Amino acid sequence: MIDLHTHTNFSDGTDTPAQLINKAMANGITTLAITDHDSIGGWEEAKMALRPGLSLVLGAEISCQTVDGISVHILGLLFDPNFNQLMQTLEQTRENRYSRMERIIKRINEAGIEITMSDVLEQLADGATLGRPHLADALVKKGVVKNRDEAFTQMLHNNSKYYIPHYSPLPEEAIKLIKQAGGVAVIAHPMASHRGRVISSQTFGSIINSGLDGIEVEHRDHTPDEKKELMNLAIEFDLAMTGSSDYHGNGKLNVLGEYTTKNDQWEKLESKANARRVVAI
């Protein structure tokens, strides 16, 4: 089983990379990609924890924003981590997430809810990418909401009055950097409409034209019709079709391997990287 989109506690997942690897193996996964938000911080620990029987794909889920302000996530897989321009872009995003969080907290405080930056940072593992899920965890700890999901549906969703975006590259820029770093680019959950506005077909076209290699078709946030539409796009533009869990540990209901990528689609994707970078022992 091939699962190409998972998170660890180097972003908003709750498992360490080693725990994730152990769970993946216990769940019958044979190829696993680790794709933390805007970070490759978990790569070293993941490589150390690797055991025979699992092929590891190192990547990152890059938070992007279109010119019209719509959030898009691009999965970069199999890129060279020594390509500085990409690392600098990720670092800029990670850094900007701090001032963004302070501004979101200010709005929440103005609504009469007491929460501080240090409450939020308490929820964050060392070196991890800060995000709204950590704010959600802090709100749970304060007793404001029951769990992450309630925090998002009631307060932290993209259309909320508390929502503020952070700096992010354009999806076209992120794809260009991933490709320059020798990796492959897959658009994550492109039709997850319940999260907020979805990109127009014009923007989708521009993203495809900038070198996209694959589309995440099978994902729990897509309806059957959305999957069909995405599959047709993948066929039309000869892109790989992936399926993945977007596992976050206890942070979300998503179960490891709940959606997977077919072997031939993975081979198609992997062959587009400029070097053979799957890690296995």
Closer residue to Fe ion (CB): 87 or 188: 188
Rg of the chain's alpha carbons, rounded to an integer?
Answer: 18
Packing angle, helices 201-209 and 171-180, rounded to 10 = 20
Contact range with Zn ion by CB under 5 A, out of 11-19, 106-114, 222-230, 269-277: 11-19
Does position 73 interact with Fe ion (CB under 5 A)? The reply is yes
Closer residue to Fe ion (CB): 5 or 179: 5
- Tell me, what DSSP letter sits at residue 151? H
As separate numbers, helices (DSSP H) first and strands (DSSP E) second, the chain gives 10, 7
d(CA 88, CA 277): 21
**In one letter, which amino acid is 24?**
A
Number of residues that bind Fe ion (CB under 5 A): 4
Least separation in angstroms between residue 13's CB and ligand AMP is 9
Least separation in angstroms between residue 267's CB and Zn ion is 27
Closer residue to Zn ion (CB): 12 or 218: 12
Least separation in angstroms between residue 52's CB and ligand AMP is 31
**Tokens of residue 86, six digits:** 């990409």
Closer residue to Fe ion (CB): 40 or 188: 188
Q: Which residues bind ligand AMP (CB under 6 A)?
A: 12, 37, 63, 131-133, 148-149, 152, 251-252
Q: Are 39 and 11 in contact (CB under 8 A)?
A: yes
Does position 12 interact with Zn ion (CB under 5 A)? The reply is yes
d(CA 208, CA 172): 9
Residues 228-247 that bind Fe ion (CB under 5 A): 246
